[in-house]
Each structure stands twice: as structure tokens, then as C-alpha cells.
Amino acid sequence: MKNRDSQRSKVYEAESLVRTIFDRADERDLRTVDILGSTVTLPIERKFASLDSVQRYVDAVSRLEWIRETWPQADTVVHVRERSGTGASHYERDTQTIAVPLHRRNEAWALRELVVLHELAHHYEPPDSEVPSHGGEFVDRFVRLVTEIVGHEAGFLLRATMLESGVAIG
């Protein structure tokens, strides 16, 4: 049985803020942001057009050699399906499935790299782990995925925002 997931809401809040920063950068075509005294240029976050494109992305990430060497669970196929409703994406450990809502208020808000990497960080968790779902080990995996795949600036932004929100990492 897993321990209590006490920092779940803080993780979601910090991640939501980071997604908003990326959205504003896209809207304004202004990629430079100031965060906690540092100026960073945000990389482009991938957006997806369909569940098939999310599945191809998930498969490609899981085939990366460093991913397989770091997290043995990456060898296990993860499936992507539509989630009914407009709630948050989630990972279903029993079926190794990422469930992604397609639209909310005519926006495909979850068809984006940060959301998919969050769910992959759950998939890469060791199968018999008893640590909280959004505990420090999860956050460390998530930040590392964002850093190495989206870019170091995105990883810095995510880590800084998590720490500023009181999230324990590692």
C-alpha cells in the first residue's frame, strides 16, 4: 500500500503555473522569462494533434537508451487512450495506460508535452513502489524528463516552481 500522497496538490499547482508560463510565451511570442532572479529562454513545448501522435511520442521517449537504462519500467509498453470528461490526465498502473482528455472549453489543453511527461514519470515508477504517487522520487523523475527532453531551461523553470511551491524533490 502506498504512503499518503501529501504533496499532490502542490505538484499540480506548480505544474499548472509552468504550463501557464509556456502558454503565455506562445501567445505573446516572447520566450524569455524571469524566474526567481534568473532570465531564461524557454524552449518550444511540443503540442499534439491526436491520441495517435501522443502514442508515437510516448513510444519514442520510452525507446531512448538513457531512459531504458535509468528506468527499467520503460521497457513495458504504455498505452494512450482518451479520457472521458474534461478532468486531468491520469496514469492507470493496472493497464499501463495514460488517459488523456481531448478537450475542455474547445481547447486540447492536455495534448501537450508537459502533461504527457508527467504521466510517463508515473509509468517509470518501479512497479512495487510504496512511495507516494507525487512524492519526491516522482518529482525528480518528472523534472529529469522535462530537463532532458524539453530542455534545461524548462527543467529549471519546473524545478524552481516546484521548490517555490513547497514541493519536496528527490
pLDDT digits (tens, 9 = 90+) for 19-29: 999 999 999 99
Distance between CA 149 and CA 147 in Å, rounded?
A: 6
Contact assessment for residue 118 and residue 142, using Cβ atoms and an 8 Å cutoff = yes
- What is the pTM for the complete model shown? 0.91
pLDDT at position 6 is: 77
**For residue range 136-165, what is the model confidence (pLDDT) as tens digits?**
899 999 999 999 999 999 999 999 999 999
pLDDT at position 39 is: 92
What is the DSSP pairing of strand 32-35 with strand 38-41? antiparallel
Q: Is the pLDDT of residue 91 over 90?
A: no
Percentage of the residues of the chain whose pLDDT score is greater than 70: 91
**For residue range 49-88, what is the model confidence (pLDDT) as tens digits?**
889 999 999 999 999 999 999 999 999 999 998 887 666 8
pLDDT at position 1 is: 45
pLDDT at position 62 is: 96
User: Mapped to the 3 state alphabet, what secondary structure does 25-48 carry?
Assistant: HHHHCCCEEEECCEEEECCCCCEC
